[in-house]
Structure 1
């Protein structure tokens, strides 16, 4: 008997279609019995190796891993080479940029320091004139022009005419040296001289400056300025 795979209706072995739903039925093939005296061949075990296209065996997992393992060192070497080349190129680029940018930044910083020192000299000249007007004669030191924020009233020893940083004698990369002139026959200081020199020549500044009671600021390059140096233009 044949059983329909769709409706499970049984039909005779000779039927080609299901008598109920008309589904085609598979034919029944009877296996031939072995001839007398002959024994059926034992079933041979099927090899477990996977067969690929055209009967060729596929490479085993171990073989694949061996192939990949052989390629991995080469790939790592190529990656390392690319990293080294890229890193070297980046380093060269950074060095080129630094070689261009750092000197420009240094020159800009020195120019700013020089401009600030000239401004400080003008402030000192104004402070000295104000001091002379208020106390008679120029101050004996930079300290006499300072004292800002002390809370005490201004005096000849603490006139509070300049800020506390300039009072110390160092500001914006320059050292300021104040030299009071001699006391004249009226008992007052009638002259003074101030030098402004870079703290680190060629680093915090290049030019040297000088001024005195005339109010003229003079300049030199590479050496300290004095009363005979050319005036700043």
Structure 2
């Protein structure tokens, strides 16, 4: 008579192998998501900076004093408002927005969404850290 099925030891070995693979794969996936969020934050800051610099070029070198000035014209300089918004795990804040200077900051909304804070200032200078 042949035995059919798996023994308890065989099933436990398979479960242990799956757990080991998950322990290796999950942190790598989380790191990849954080890296993608950080890249998206830098790209969004570049977009905001380009809008501010384009506005200044069209207005005798003066930056807008409110983000609404960038979203209200037709066509708009920015397609959406970013101030206080969370996009892909990063929250955007205009630390400085005057006719002569600007500084926009992107900070992770949680430790699971990113580890670095970025900012962009007049001239399109993108750097790590807060404004």
Q: 1:219 aligns with which of 116, 128, 131?
A: 128
Partner of 1:127: 51
Moved over 4 A (4+): 165-168
Partner of 1:145: 70
* Structure richer in strand, relative to its length: 2
Q: Which moved more, 1:102-111 or 1:166-175?
A: 166-175
Partner of 1:109: 33
Quick check: 1:145–1:167 contact (8 Å CA) kept in 2?
Answer: no
Alpha-carbon RMSD across the aligned residues, in angstroms, is 2.6
Shift of 1:191: 1.0
Aligned length: 128
Partner of 2:102: 192
Rg larger for: 1
* Structure richer in helix, relative to its length: 2
Structure 2 distance, partners of 1:168, 1:128, is 17
Which segments of 5 or more consecutive residues in structure 1 lack a partner in the other structure? Answer: 1-74, 148-152, 183-188, 227-233
Structure 1 distance, partners of 2:127, 2:65, is 22
Partner of 1:210: 119
Structure 1 distance, partners of 2:27, 2:66, is 37
User: Normalising by the residue count of structure 1, what TM-score does the alignment of the two structures yield?
Assistant: 0.48
Structure 2 distance, partners of 1:91, 1:143, is 56
Q: 2:19 aligns with which of 62, 77, 95?
A: 95
Which segments of 5 or more consecutive residues in structure 2 lack a partner in the other structure? Answer: none
Quick check: 2:83–2:92 contact (8 Å CA) kept in 1?
Answer: no
Partner of 1:164: 80
Q: Deviations over 1:209-232 (max 9, x none)?
A: 112113211114xxxx23xxxxxx
Structure 1 distance, partners of 2:70, 2:121, is 15
Which structure has more relative contact order (CA 8 Å, sep 6+)? It is 2
Q: 1:174 aligns with which of 80, 84, 90?
A: 90
